[in-house]
Amino acid sequence: MSNEALGAYKKAIEMYRRIDDSIGLATAYSNVSVVYLELKQDSTALPFALRALDIREQSGEKHNLSISHTNLGNIYSNLRDSIQALDHYSKTLNIDFELNDSVGISMAYTNIGILYYQGGSYKNAIPFLKKSIFLDSTLGDEFNLMISRFNLGEALFGLKKYDAALKEYKLSYEISSRLKSASYLFDNGKPMASCYDALGQQIEAYEILSALIPKYDSLFSDERKAALLELQRGFEVYKIDLENKLLRKSNNQKNATISNLNFTEKAFYLGLGFALITILILIIGLRRINYLNRSLRTKNSLIEEQNLALTSQTDHLQESIRENQNLVSLMVHDLKNPLAQVGSLAQLPIDDEVKDLIGRASQNGLDLIYDIMEVTHAESGELKLDKQQISIHELLTELAEEQLKAAENKNIKIILNEDPSIKRITSDKRIL
């Protein structure tokens, strides 16, 4: 049948060439390429499709130009030249947008989506296939909607989104049942079973494939019984594989049950052993704690005894300090009167220099007594300082004058060497 059509179309090429009918000639070239495409002779179909495209580009007839680009996209897709195929499908899409041809736009979306998922670009395929489904639903085109949903299922299956893929296959399967499309019944049924299988639902997979055979018996004509037989053999192989999977799954479940029982028994004994070890550790720990508590009580008692001894020693020391302070106070009191009497000698009619020396000596003695008293106060925490600004020059001069007489007696010369940068200090002059 295809050879007869091929011969007729080639004769049409010659006829349209003689009468110079470019539109008819382009159509004849396009038809020849389509026949070769159906015969899977894509390389032979390519030059005829290119010739048809060339003629239609010259004529500028948009609708047929869109068909030529679609035809070339199909040929390049079969030749595994995805770049050329995508280029022609994209040109088809652009032309159909110019023509506002919703059916053509939907088919272009479908072709681009198929091209992407067949090349393994599943994510890129999904947006185009969803757009195609939207347009087909809007147009009420069930046949193309069936194809688009099937292809979307294929893309989702490639992404291993089995639940979503199963949903699309089911919708396509329902449409193919209404349209009585035998080929798409099997095309959807088999991947539906694969989705069930991937989801671990082997029984559902078995049931869906079992339901396909009676449908094929009623839908296929006698001339396609051979194809049905081949599909049935494939189904039997698949069914055996599923039965084996179900059997393995059942055996695995039994083995898992036995393993769980063994594990439970082992876990019981392990738990019992662990409990005994824990109790033993607790007993040892309690005994250790009791020992530590006894040791701690002994140490606390010793510390208390040491604290009592230390408190006693502290009290004794404080008593000694008080006695020492009392003794110093008595000494100071006893020294004050004689020194005061020495100071009164300075009032007698004697040499001014001697008088001054006696006065200073007695005053220094008194100051020394006061210093002793201050030290006593400091030891008892009662020292009070009389801080004031003191001239370094005056202080050094007074000290030198006090020592001048004694120095002269010993032929010692006193020299004041002051630091001019230090003029005053803040302190208690009596202590200095």
Burial of 84-120, coded b for 16+ CB within 10 Å and e otherwise, reads ebbebbebbbebbeeeebeebbbbbbbbbbbbbbbee
Find tokens 């004769």 and name the residue: 11
What's the gap between Cα 44 and its chain centre? Answer: 56
**Other beta carbons within 10 Å of 193:** 27
Three-state DSSP state, 390: strand
Q: Give the per-residue pLDDT at 231.
A: 52
Residues, the chain, total?
A: 432
Q: What is the CATH number of domain 2-254?
A: 1.25.40.10
Distance between CA 90 and CA 103 in Å, rounded?
A: 15
Distance between CA 414 and CA 95 in Å, rounded?
A: 123
Q: Give the per-residue pLDDT at 13.
A: 86
Q: Give the per-residue pLDDT at 109.
A: 94
Q: Which residues contact 184 (CB under 8 A, 6 or more apart)?
A: 146, 147, 150, 172, 173, 175, 176
Q: Give the per-residue pLDDT at 227.
A: 47
The parts of the chain modelled with pLDDT lower than 50 are: 216-221, 223-224, 227-228
Find tokens 């106070």 and name the residue: 329
Distance between CA 62 and CA 57 in Å, rounded?
A: 8
Q: Give the per-residue pLDDT at 111.
A: 93
Q: Give the per-residue pLDDT at 220.
A: 46
Q: Are the C-beta atoms of residues 131 and 111 closer than 8 Å to each other? A: no
Three-state DSSP state, 340: helix
Q: Where are the domains of the chain?
A: 2-254, 385-432
What are residue 424's DSSP bridge partners?
391
Q: Give the per-residue pLDDT at 343.
A: 58
Report DSSP state, residue 141.
-
Distance between CA 282 and CA 321 in Å, rounded?
A: 57
Distance between CA 212 and CA 394 in Å, rounded?
A: 127
